[in-house]
Structure 1
Amino acid sequence: MASLVFQQAICKLQSAGPSCSLSCHYDSGSVLVKPFPTANNVHFGFSSTNSLSTMQKRSGVIQASTSQMSVVDTVFSPSDNIAGDKPKKNEAALILIRHGESMWNEKNLFTGCVDVPLTKKGVEEAIEAGKRISNIPVDKIYTSSLIRAQMTAMLAMTQHRRRKVPIITHNESEQLKLWSEVYSEETKKQSIPVVTAWQLNERMYGELQGLDKQETANRYGQEKVHEWRRSYDIPPPNGESLEMCAERAVAYFKENIEPQIQSGKNILIAAHGNSLRSIIMYLDALTSQEVISLELSTGIPLLYIFKEGKFLRRGSPVGPTEAGVYAYSRRLAAYRQKLDDMLQ
């Protein structure tokens, strides 16, 4: 059933194309992710005790083009030098998306590393996430090895105005790598590589996986289940703690993803609540107490800009015509303008 929903969603999107015709006011008051209980009133996707720059309070309106034509290799990445610009230090975008609602989210079951697909609502959340990032460049995609994260990335990219096709790479063996080789240079220009990594999986919930959350609380006690779910270093029976999840997720990010961002590549990561919390903990230098209070909503993209050697948190883009995030980066604004020019 989930496969049918996924296929129907793809067909519907391909016939409709990305929605770029409505003007949208930048709303810095949208509560997209639950904030820290002790934090100041901070929005933009998630909260921490770190304050945001005053630039994040700017608002604006931009009317985007309504054309549906494809833009392939005529639009450069912001990491490329734009005509007339002087060479600058590398700047890049990092987008984080927690997968849309899964079938076990809907059933209120502990999921962890069990590989379950998205619900219809989850498909819709992934599509909405794609609309929010439709003007932000993506050069490479990383997902976990779980289908709900991969579906989210694929569905999101159907909404991107660049119209590139995400292609999952297979490096498990030389045979698989050879069989999945693309030999057309033109096709390569119209594609985005997708790398799957188990290190980005949700934390493994051990003996809780597949159990109803409320029934588990009734059986073991609300306090004990809360400790398993929300403590930093206490794992559930035969499972992983958030600390253990962070060790693998952050190590993978630092070794495989961060160097590409530093070189100017724009990266999208579609993963899970705990693996993404771990990466955010690293990016924002959160403490173990701060990170356990961090909540991420399903299907809400979070944007970082890597600039001058630092990751700058920019919250969540509101929509395809929203102006706010582009005020923080001249390169992103130039990329979007080039998209607009090509689609007029």
Structure 2
Amino acid sequence: MDTTLRPTNAGATGGTLGTRANASSRLVPTRSTESVDDTSANAAASSAASAAPLRTNGSAARIASNLQDQVAGAQQALDYLERVANQLEALKGELTAKLAGTRNGSRLQLEVHARQLAQTLAGRKKNGGGSVDSNLNYSTRPATQRFRIRGLDIESVRKSAPQTISFSVGSAGGPQMGVNIEPDQSNQQIARALDRALAPMGVHASLDENGELVFTTPEANWSSVKDSIAVSGRGRVTTDEVPANLAPQQWNVSAETGNADALRQSLREVVQALERVHRSQAAASAALQAASAQVADAAPPPPDMTIAVEDFNKVAASTDYESLIALTSALVGVSRDRVLALLGLR
């Protein structure tokens, strides 16, 4: 038996998914076009009435949906970061023991833990809630991809001043945005000027911790940005991803080639990564608390909530076939994660 979306007509007795002005939609299975007797028609109409839909305020629903997404993303990020933190702690212990020579067989355990961490980091985009970047930093904004434009560094830009640089992003050239570079501008001023020019295209520019020019774009946009940036006078340019600070797949920890210097460097990377993870955990927890406070301070529409509860109770209290179909159809797509996210708002 299928369900269809049809406007209801006055006096209709066949079950439909209908709508009417200033009223909520009804979820009722469609009837066959074959004729039915009056008893069946009345039963269907009665079931349709009992299967009244949930009604809600549109604005409140949008706010709740946004909060739900924020909470779900922060919860997923916290779960992922906790898993990474546990693996980093295990690696820290194995590396320390290996360097001190205090544990037999620690080399094998070290290799196992390094592979596990590499696999976890490889699944970050899928499991990190979309808000943990490659360096394990958390933000309430979508995670970004850091990259460089080959041949466009801060020194070469300064030496070529005064000049005007135009950028475009897009497979068809896209809109062009220009920026004027003056000889008396500082490195920071040049970076800000480039950032203003690129921002409308979804790309940002800044100076990294070493004072070098680095560009960022949301990870979701990276595939469409990396091969489509053009610079005036150079045409299409080559972009290079900035590698993550933590790369256990490149560590030298095997029995044949491992050495103390490499292990110490790996230990430093692990300790630094742990510090970032702890900061990210604190930031994600703060985001959850802020969302909870926003829910507590918000003024939900009591009439809508009361009506929604009453409507659901009416449908759930009925055990006839039409009501069960209405319930199961309405709950299609409601995942466990969404339910947990909503419960977390309480």
Provide the TM-score with structure 2 as the length reference: 0.24
More helix by share: 2
Q: Which fold has the larger relative contact order, with Cα–Cα distance below 8 Å and residues 6 or more apart in sequence?
A: 1
Bigger Rg, which one: 2
